[in-house]
Amino acid sequence: MSRPNIQLGREGGLKHFLTIDGFSRSLLTDILDTAESFTGVSERTVKKVPLLRGKVICNLFFENSTRTRTTFEVAAKRLSADVLNLNISTSATAKGESLLDTLRNLEAMHVDMFVVRHTDSGAAHFIAQHADPHVSVINAGDGRHAHPTQAMLDMFTIRRHKGEFTGLRVAIVGDVLHSRVARSQILALNTLGTSEVRVIAPRTLLPAEVRTLGVHAFHDLEQGIRDVDVIIMLRLQKERMRGALLPSEHEYFQLYGLTEERLGGAKADAIVMHPGPINRGVEIDSQVADGPRSVILQQVSFGIAVRMAVMSMALGNQAQGAVR
């Protein structure tokens, strides 16, 4: 690494969390270990730790997502931080203020962390590059680029069920082309030493550069799913149907929808994951989504612990033993 990683602080600890790209296996493992120490907090009677008391965490959402915002809000409050929810599309920019001016103003109020969601790829990087040194930035999804906390909660879920990444065969199924989640998952899986990462999608929904990603591409679901340990279904954005990229929802389900029958081709103890919200009967059958192999709701629970880990590490208040 000749170019210093903007995501790391002076002493090599986590500063921003923008993308999985550039992080070492050991740092990703630190995040998972720190998250492990937080899973207990959600089950206590008093579900709070005072790690971030007095810190102000600002959910800066340029793209509306109640669901994602809520997970960060719950994680922040569990760490005893104060939370500001700002939906920017409806406020400052309406008055013609530039993104940087909005940022500078919030920094001047001594906000400690921005959790950024934006429709443009690179928005969180842009903010981190221009942010004051005392501020941390967490990417909560930027365009088609990355959604690293989602990927890390997926890694956490896999590790909980499978222990090691080495030896695992993981399949990601669906609209890889448009998915920031898939991009982040592939990077994390490879960094953590997963033996084989497969992507399964119609040609129209795979990026041209798919081979450079370190994955095996399949266009047939049954073939791709054979003997895998983990199946990660992607959400199908229904707006893709309008363009020429896809046939009907019905036809998509016929070809790429995960059913009990198809799940039979995977390993007997394979787990099924999905970042949510799920489209029942489009990319996944309800029988599978609600079945014994599904760990979809565990992903949500672990997501709180993983976000607590990332937030507390970035603000330098690591739970004991975290961050080398």
Which residue lies nearer to its own copies by CB, 103 or 146? Answer: 103
Is residue 1 within the footprint of its own copies (CB under 8 A)?
no
Report helix angle 99-108 to 123-130, nearest 10: 50
Beta carbon nearer to its own copies, 110 or 211: 110
- For residue 117, what are the contacts with CB-CB under 8 A and spacing of at least 6? 59, 60, 61, 62, 63, 65, 68, 69, 140, 141, 142
Among 26, 98, 195, 204, binds its own copies (CB under 8 A): 98
Q: Which stretch binds its own copies (CB under 8 A): 61-69, 115-123, 168-176, 203-211?
A: 61-69
Q: Which of 68, 102, 157, 194 is catalytic?
A: 68
DSSP 235: P
CA–CA separation, 47 and 159 (whole Å): 24
Residue of the chain from 92, 210, 217, 241 that contacts its own copies (CB under 8 A): 92
The tokens for 65 are 């997502």
Among positions 36, 63, 107, 285, the unique one binding its own copies when judged by CB under 8 A:
107
Nearer to its own copies by Cβ, of 108 and 208: the residue is 108
Q: Which helix (H) or strand (E) covers residue 317, if one does?
A: none
Strand partners, 272: 231, 294
Region for residue 213 given its phi and psi (left: phi exceeds 0; alpha: psi -120 to 50; beta: otherwise)? alpha
3-state SS class at 271: strand
CA atoms within 13 A on the CB side of 68: 26
Our CB check for its own copies shows the closer of 34 and 157 to be: 157
117 an active-site residue?
yes
**What is the distance between the alpha carbons of residues 248 and 281, in angstroms, rounded to a whole number?**
12
Residues between 233 and 252 with contacts to its own copies, criterion CB under 8 A: 238
Judged by CB under 8 A, the stretch of 22-30, 146-154, 181-189, 293-301 that binds its own copies is 293-301
3-class secondary-structure state, position 257: coil
- DSSP-assigned letter for residue 280: B
Among 29, 42, 190, 259, binds its own copies (CB under 8 A): 42
89 binds its own copies (CB under 8 A): no
Of 5, 6, 22, 82, the residue at the interface with its own copies (CB under 8 A) is 82
What are the residue numbers of the active site? Answer: 67-68, 95, 117, 147
- For its own copies, the binding residues (CB under 8 A) are 42-48, 53-56, 64-67, 70-71, 73-74, 77, 82, 84, 86-88, 90-92, 95-98, 101-102, 104-111, 238, 276-280, 297-301, 303-304
